[in-house]
């Protein structure tokens, strides 16, 4: 399981529960549910059946946060649902799940300690970085309004609940 929270319940059995921000506002609920499944959510690595997940730093807030590089023998995916600056380590990935909290403008946190990138900037950065498929996750209110108005990102697609993505 990567991150999680309201409505995102992995069920059992579960081998690991990895999080991007162990100080996130959803952590009390994640810890409670993970405990019910005999897991301890953490920022860490995991490998099984030819798939490896490794945490990579992202610039998001005043404390350390990460995204995850997910690798098979032939493919690379990126889980980076929250960041202020596009992560360089995502370059060349086959699939990237990225921040979409802002639509046309980044969202800056009070005190200038980070924030969320916007869809327009992430789409451009991902295209320049050679990301082959971009899926917007962590969709914030400005992006929800854009979706409701029928707007589409200049590159990439909106993530939708229940979708499946395969690395082939």
pLDDT in tens, 10-59: 888 899 999 999 888 888 999 999 999 999 999 999 999 999 999 999 98
CA distance 142 to 102: 6
**List of residues 6+ apart from 16 with CB closer than 8 A:** 1, 39, 44, 46
Query: pTM of the prediction?
Result: 0.91
Residue 4 CB contacts under 8 Å (≥ 6 apart), including other chains: 10, 17, 19, 26, 30, 33, 41
Query: What is the mean predicted confidence (pLDDT) over 135-145?
Result: 93
Say how many C-beta atoms besides its own lie within 10 A of residue 82's C-beta. 24
99's enclosing H/E stretch is strand 95-100
CA atoms of 77 and 10, how far apart (whole Å): 20
């Amino acid at each position: 399981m990567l991150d999680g929270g309201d409505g995102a319940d992995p069920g059992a059995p579960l081998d690991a529960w990895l999080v991007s921000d162990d100080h996130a506002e959803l952590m009390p609920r994640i810890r409670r549910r993970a405990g019910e499944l005999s897991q301890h959510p953490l920022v860490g690595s995991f490998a099984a059946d030819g798939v490896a997940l490794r945490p990579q730093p992202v610039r998001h807030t005043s404390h350390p946060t990460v995204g995850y590089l997910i690798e098979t023998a032939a493919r690379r995916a990126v889980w980076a649902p929250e960041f202020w600056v596009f992560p360089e380590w995502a370059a060349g990935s086959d699939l990237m799940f990225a921040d979409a909290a802002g639509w046309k403008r980044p969202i800056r946190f009070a005190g200038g300690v980070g924030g969320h990138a916007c869809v327009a900037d992430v789409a451009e950065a991902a295209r320049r970085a050679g990301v082959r498929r971009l899926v917007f996750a962590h969709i914030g209110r400005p992006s929800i309004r854009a979706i409701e108005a029928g707007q589409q990102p200049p590159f990439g697609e909106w993530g939708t609940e229940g979708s499946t993505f395969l690395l082939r």
